[in-house]
């Protein structure tokens, strides 16, 4: 038989002591705390990464849109003949002798500081950075009326030109950054109800009239003198897009958003919280010229296809005998500065108006010399650019999108 004393001793040896239990619980608590902290770190990292991706998704979409449309820009350039007058024949008709060819175009490509391109703008404070306006075969047209059914008695709809399937029609396009509220773009019921507060933001604006309303073909905006096709009507340069700020032609949210329903002079935002757009026309070859610079065609960023020599540029054999007149730049270096929603909300507050105006005015003063671009944005020799220092000092969370776009329709020759 087993002794009762021996049985109690064996049971005590098989159990945990109070000290052992306390040590085990302590280790378990520490392990759970480490696991909890690790899960928290992973979760915060995931939220931060997802937040960054979602915050700049709209900006990436807008940048891709700009890049895609700019690459299709065209001037539809052709060769025209210059003649020498030799007098008149017996019927008093002019006798002419062909002398030489020259480039000609009815279209225009222009880029540069927004305050210089939009004459009715309020200065660099409201329109920081650069703008670009051009034509491209995008084929965006108005909705056409349906032909009346039989027995309806006919009507004017039968005479309406159907342009819906003409996918290569030339359309005007433009992009620039604007500060303002969203009143022109909201549905009318929101503006009248005053329930949803107005949002003020820096926005990337797209100028996108339909092909039928491309004003560069209007008689009052034509660039070529009808009486002398060798001359350009300088007063008409850049006039065809000046309705871009017309508030009555802003597209509101309650309109159909399909491409085929873009209205006359339509201007709409494509992305919010865009601080600046910087466009630098460049050429891709030095053509054997030792002193050549890639930014020589537009050293002050301003590029106008109507001009033979852009501001700050000097005549160069690379540009040909007509300079850059009626030529697209071979390359466009496009940079877009976007910020996150929290930074956009911070700048929109009335108490931060001074900070917003300072940032906007400083950006307006930058990007005037193309050779200084690397000093104004991006690190150079380990130093931050002027724009980087400005935004970091104001705790603006931003991201720079940049790409060099090859202009497909650029045709440079001497």
Residue 178 lies in a domain: yes
Higher-confidence position of 70 and 292: 70
User: Confidence band (pLDDT; 50, 70, 90) for 5?
Assistant: low
CA distance 136 to 214: 11
CA distance 203 to 274: 5
Query: Which residues sit opposite 177 in a β-bridge?
Result: 204
Asked if 207 and 244 count as a contact pair (C-beta separation under 8 A), the reply is yes
Is the predicted pLDDT of residue 259 greater than 50, yes or no? no
User: Confidence band (pLDDT; 50, 70, 90) for 140?
Assistant: confident
User: Confidence band (pLDDT; 50, 70, 90) for 166?
Assistant: confident
Higher-confidence position of 184 and 110: 110
CA distance 137 to 414: 26
Look at residue 82 in the predicted model and tell me its pLDDT: 83
Mean pLDDT in residue range 210-222:
88
User: Confidence band (pLDDT; 50, 70, 90) for 100?
Assistant: confident
Residue 319 lies in a domain: yes
**Torsion sign, CA atoms 355, 132, 56, 406:** negative
Is the predicted pLDDT of residue 302 greater than 90, yes or no? yes
Asked if 203 and 185 count as a contact pair (C-beta separation under 8 A), the reply is no
- Percent pLDDT > 70 in the chain is 80
Mean pLDDT in residue range 195-201:
87
Residue 314 lies in a domain: yes
CA distance 38 to 227: 78
Residue 134 lies in a domain: yes
Higher-confidence position of 332 and 293: 332
CB atoms within 10 A of CB 342: 13
pLDDT in tens, 87-98: 888 788 888 888
Mean pLDDT in residue range 197-226:
90
Cα angle for residues 9, 15, 19 (degrees, 5° grid): 115
Look at residue 264 in the predicted model and tell me its pLDDT: 47
Mean pLDDT in residue range 132-136:
96
| Number of domains making up the chain | 1
Average pLDDT, the chain: 82
Residue 352 lies in a domain: yes
Q: Which one of 65-69, 98-102, 164-168, 250-254 scores highest in mean pLDDT?
A: 65-69
Q: Mutual orientation of helices 18-55 and 57-70 as an angle, nearest 10°?
A: 30
Is the predicted pLDDT of residue 322 greater than 80, yes or no? yes
Domain span at residue 358 reads 57-78+106-148+155-406
Look at residue 161 in the predicted model and tell me its pLDDT: 62
User: Confidence band (pLDDT; 50, 70, 90) for 262?
Assistant: very low
User: Confidence band (pLDDT; 50, 70, 90) for 301?
Assistant: very high
Residue 31 lies in a domain: no
Residue 267 lies in a domain: yes
- Percent pLDDT > 90 in the chain is 39
CA distance 122 to 213: 25
Mean pLDDT in residue range 182-193:
81
- Lowest average pLDDT, out of 15-24, 112-121, 221-230, 255-264, goes to 255-264
CB atoms within 10 A of CB 405: 20
Q: Which one of 68-82, 148-162, 181-195, 275-289 scores highest in mean pLDDT?
A: 68-82
pTM recorded for the entire structure: 0.80
CA distance 154 to 285: 60
Strand ordering across the sheet containing 331-339: 274-282, 331-339, 398-406
Is the predicted pLDDT of residue 63 greater than 80, yes or no? yes
Is the predicted pLDDT of residue 354 greater than 90, yes or no? yes
**In this structure, what token pair is assigned to residue 166?**
């003409």
Asked if 110 and 303 count as a contact pair (C-beta separation under 8 A), the reply is yes
Residue 181 lies in a domain: yes
Is the predicted pLDDT of residue 256 greater than 60, yes or no? no
């Amino acid at each position: 038989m087993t002794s009762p004393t021996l049985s109690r001793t064996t049971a005590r040896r098989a159990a945990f002591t109070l000290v052992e239990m306390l040590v085990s619980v302590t280790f378990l608590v520490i392990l759970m705390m480490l696991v909890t902290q690790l899960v928290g770190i992973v979760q915060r990292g995931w939220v931060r990464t997802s937040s960054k991706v979602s915050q700049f998704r709209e900006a990436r979409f807008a940048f891709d849109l700009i890049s895609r449309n700019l690459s299709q820009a065209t001037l539809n350039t052709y060769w025209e003949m210059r003649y020498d007058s030799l007098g008149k024949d017996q019927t008093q008709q002019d006798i002419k002798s062909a002398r030489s060819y020259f480039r000609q175009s009815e279209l225009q490509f222009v880029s540069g500081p927004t305050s210089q391109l939009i004459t009715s703008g309020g200065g660099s404070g409201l329109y920081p950075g650069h703008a670009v306006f051009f034509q491209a075969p995008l084929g965006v047209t108005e909705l056409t009326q349906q032909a009346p059914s039989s027995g309806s008695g006919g009507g004017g709809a039968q005479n309406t030109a159907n342009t819906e399937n003409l996918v290569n029609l030339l359309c005007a396009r433009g992009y620039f950054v604007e500060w303002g509220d969203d009143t022109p773009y909201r549905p009318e019921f929101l503006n009248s109800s005053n329930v949803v507060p107005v949002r003020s933001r820096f926005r990337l604006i797209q100028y996108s009239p339909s092909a039928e309303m491309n004003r560069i073909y209007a008689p009052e905006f034509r660039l070529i003198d009808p009486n002398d096709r060798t001359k350009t009507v300088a007063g008409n340069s850049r006039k065809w897009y000046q309705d871009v700020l017309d508030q009555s032609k802003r597209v509101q949210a309650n309109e159909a958003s399909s491409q085929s329903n873009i209205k006359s002079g339509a201007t709409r935002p494509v992305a919010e919280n865009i601080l600046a757009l910087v466009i630098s026309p460049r050429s891709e070859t030095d053509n054997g010229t030792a002193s050549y610079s890639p930014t020589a065609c537009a050293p002050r960023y301003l590029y106008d296809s109507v001009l033979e020599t852009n501001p700050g540029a000097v005549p160069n054999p690379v540009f040909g005998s007509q300079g850059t007149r009626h030529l697209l730049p071979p390359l466009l270096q496009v940079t877009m500065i976007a910020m996150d929603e929290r930074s956009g909300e911070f700048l929109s507050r009335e108490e931060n108006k001074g900070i917003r105006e300072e940032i906007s005015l400083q950006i307006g003063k930058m990007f005037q010399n193309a050779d200084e671009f690397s000093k104004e944005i991006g690190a150079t020799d380990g130093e931050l650019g002027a724009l980087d220092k400005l935004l970091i000092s104001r705790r603006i969370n931003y991201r720079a999108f940049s790409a060099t776009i090859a202009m497909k329709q650029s045709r440079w020759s001497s």
